[in-house]
Amino acid sequence: MNPSLRSQLLGPLLWVWLLGVVVAAYGAFRLASYAGDTAYDRSLQDEASAIATQIYWTDRGPLLELSTQAQQLLARHSSDRNAFMVIDAAGNILAGSGDLPLPQDRSGSFDAPEVFDAMYGQEPVRGAMYSIRSPMLETYVTVVVIETKRKRSDLVREVQLAILVPTVLLGSLTFVLLAWGIRRGVAPLARIAGEVERRDPRDLRPLPLEDVPAEAVPLIERINTLLGNVARSVELQRRFVADAAHQLRTPVAGVRVLAQQLQQELRGAGADRGTQALLQVLVGSAERMSRLIGQLLNLARSESALRNLASGELQPIDVLPVIREAAEPLLLRADSEGKQVSLEAPDQAWARAHPVWLGEVVSNLLDNALRYGGRSIEVKVETQDAGVVIQVCDDGDGIPEAQGELIFEPFWRGDRADVREHEGTGLGLAIVKEVVEGMGGRIRVASRPEFDGTCFTVELRG
């Protein structure tokens, strides 16, 4: 299945947006980590420096006196776990906790407080170390201040949420607006596709260009050009069939009359059986050709007459007189062939139909039943809320299920030898389908095993 235009437009934008979300998340993490590390590291360094200012050197060594201000500075991050330690060069604890971690290299901490990462109590901590040399003695002390990374992690999450939530919301809103805009943009194409789907196969009018996007106008114009070419080709074919049938009708009728007259004269002159058999074949061929030409004319006329005739322009008529008039010539033929035709109908049945072409429908359906059906033929007419239903049913051998739609194709007469032996033209049911659909109706066929024989159902609108 081909991808839709919307998916092709939104797909790349989705990947760009997802990439932007990933970049924004990484950027937010890096920004929050940098901001947190910078701020909190400076706070640790200030704490280490503040404690270092409280160290006094005496003859006996260093002395630590923490002021109230220093104690408040150490305790200000109440949500974090803070601790400090002061040790001398020999590793003796002068103040604070004695188990705080220390980095191996202390050389850089004599110039300024130095920060480091470590583990304390199975929890990652960040520390600051500051070493002070004695001005009188060859010794030094080291101040270590540590805190957990809880507040740093909270800051990173807050900054990430502050960046990602608006990004996701704005991106979602953008996608909704883009999807709405694209759907609105392709709506004319969907409307044209629906109109083409609903159109009758004979409707070759140009497609409308109103509200069609500029990018799609050349495509619709090419389709309209193609429809115009097809319409002209179909019209030429119809005109050729009608003209050819009309031109052939007169000479074929003359050949048939002459063949019949010659048959009668030779029969009276005592012609031999071989000659009479040949003349019988000639007369039969002339009659079949005459019927074929008549059917071709009817098909061309029905296509031309009903092509622009909408069902709304048809006037309601009582279809029963039309059916009886169309069936009357075929009743004599049915009697001569030993077949029975029955009619079951109400007193009146009104439907929108063309009387001439409705008569052609009934005549062709009855002719088809007499040729290929059984001995009993039923014509039923029923009135419904939506219109009138006409059924022509027989008790013949039926139609194979695979050939149910093929019977409406022009010149199709079936594959069975017993069917092809009949002198049909293969155009009767094609004319029926053309006329019924031209009048806004519908035709269906049912056969074995659904129906015991064959039954054609014509539905006309009321």
DSSP, residue by residue, 207-261: PP-TT--TTTHHHHHHHHHHHHHHHHHHHHHHHHHHHHHHHHHHHHHHHHHHHHH
Whole-number percent of the chain with pLDDT over 90: 9
Q: Classify each residue of 196-215 as buried b or exposed e, where b means 16 or more C-beta atoms within 10 Å of its C-beta.
A: eeeeeeeebeebeeeebeee
95-109, 247-261, 366-380: which has the minimum mean pLDDT? 247-261
Are the C-beta atoms of 412 and 400 separated by less than 8 Å? no
Q: Which residues pair with 118 in a beta bridge?
A: 125
Q: Which residues pair with 317 in a beta bridge?
A: 351
Task: Give the pLDDT band (50/70/90) at residue 384.
Answer: confident
Residue 416 scores a pLDDT above 50: no
Rounded to an integer, the average pLDDT of 115-129 is 88
Are the C-beta atoms of 308 and 342 separated by less than 8 Å? no
Instruction: State the residue for tokens 């590793």.
Output: 91
Residue 456 scores a pLDDT above 90: yes
Residues ≥6 apart with Cβ < 8 Å to 215: none
Write down the pLDDT at residue 390. 94
Task: Give the pLDDT band (50/70/90) at residue 245.
Answer: low
Taking the C-alpha atoms of residue 369 and residue 404, their distance in angstroms, rounded to an integer, is 15
- pTM exceeds 0.85, yes or no: no
Encoded amino acid at 326, one letter:
A
Encoded amino acid at 215, one letter:
E
Rounded to an integer, the average pLDDT of 2-13 is 76
Instruction: State the residue for tokens 């106008």.
Output: 217
Instruction: State the residue for tokens 């909270």.
Output: 154
Rounded to an integer, the average pLDDT of 70-98 is 72
Write down the pLDDT at residue 460. 92
- CA–CA distances in Å: residue 430 to residues 244, 365, 380: 19, 11, 21
Computed over every residue of the chain, the mean pLDDT equals 80
Whole-number percent of the chain with pLDDT over 70: 85
Residue 65 scores a pLDDT above 80: no
Taking the C-alpha atoms of residue 218 and residue 207, their distance in angstroms, rounded to an integer, is 12
Are the C-beta atoms of 320 and 344 separated by less than 8 Å? no
Q: pLDDT tens across 178-219, in order?
A: 888 888 877 888 888 888 888 777 678 888 888 787 878 888
